[in-house]
């Protein structure tokens, strides 16, 4: 049985939350049906000191304002002007920080995920949600949902039956511009899970 995470779950240290989101279930309710995926990979971004964060130096824009507010809301943004990434706002209140959901393991609504991604039937299921923009397309997440309350009923994260797995950590992916912050081990993943996006960098 899935139980929606309370706001207090998100109001803790961003690294702890990012790690403990592994094994939780991302749920999206749409008119076409419900989509569920198990979170298998995350990355933490902790402003204002993190040079990879959109809120580095407390940068507050219309897009990033959600990170300065109540915890447990969605931060959804565009990359390359086309794709989207989905984060949960986490950490102490009013300190900008977010956890990027990098990959999930499809659980429910798999055909709807394929439809949302406009994929043909022969595409391997392991390629369905093994990357942040793939997750957003499969779950129909766009920046129109930026700021939505993850304690609501349209998009939320749940705990389920406790599962034993080993957690891996590595440097984050695609942040080589972030100087000394490119090397912090703030990426978390379920070891051995075939839906993780990439092997960890050495």
Q: What is the DSSP string of the chain?
A: --EEPPHHHHSS-HHHHHHHTTT-EEEEEETTEEEEEEEEEEEEEETTT-TTSTTGGG---TTGGGGGS-SSBEEEEEETTTEEEEEEE-SSTTS-EEEEEEEEEEEE-HHHHHHHHT--TTS-GGGSSSSHHHHHHHTT--GGGTT-BTTSSSEEEEE-S----PEEEEPPSS-GGGGGGGGS--EEEETT-TT-SSPPP-
Average pLDDT over residues 7-32: 97
pLDDT tens, position by position, 128-164: 999 999 999 999 999 999 999 999 999 999 999 889 9
Please, what is the average pLDDT of the chain? 95
Q: Is residue 85 scored above 80 in pLDDT?
A: yes
User: What is 3-190's CATH superfamily?
Assistant: Methylpurine-DNA glycosylase (MPG) (3.10.300.10)
Average pLDDT over residues 168-195: 97
Q: pTM of this prediction?
A: 0.95
Q: What's the pLDDT at 202?
A: 40
């Amino acid at each position: 049985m899935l139980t929606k995470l309370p706001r207090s779950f998100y109001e803790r240290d961003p690294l702890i939350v990012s790690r403990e989101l592994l094994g939780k279930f991302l749920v999206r309710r749409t008119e076409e049906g419900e989509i569920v995926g198990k979170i298998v990979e995350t990355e933490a971004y902790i402003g204002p000191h993190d040079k990879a964060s959109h809120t580095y130096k407390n940068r507050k824009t219309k897009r990033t304002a959600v990170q300065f507010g109540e915890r447990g809301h969605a931060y959804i943004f565009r990359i390359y002007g086309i794709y989207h990434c989905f984060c949960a706002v986490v950490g102490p209140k009013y300190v900008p920080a977010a956890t990027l959901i990098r990959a999930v393991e499809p659980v429910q609504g798999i055909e709807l995920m394929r439809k949302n991604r406009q994929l043909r039937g022969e595409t391997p299921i392991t390629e369905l949600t093994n990357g942040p923009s793939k997750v957003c397309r499969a779950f129909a997440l766009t920046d129109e949902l930026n700021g939505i309350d993850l304690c609501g009923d349209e998009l939320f994260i749940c705990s389920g039956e406790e599962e034993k797995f080993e957690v891996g950590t590595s440097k984050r992916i695609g942040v080589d511009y972030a100087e000394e912050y490119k090397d912090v081990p703030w990426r978390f993943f379920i070891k051995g899970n075939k839906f993780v996006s990439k092997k960890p960098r050495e």
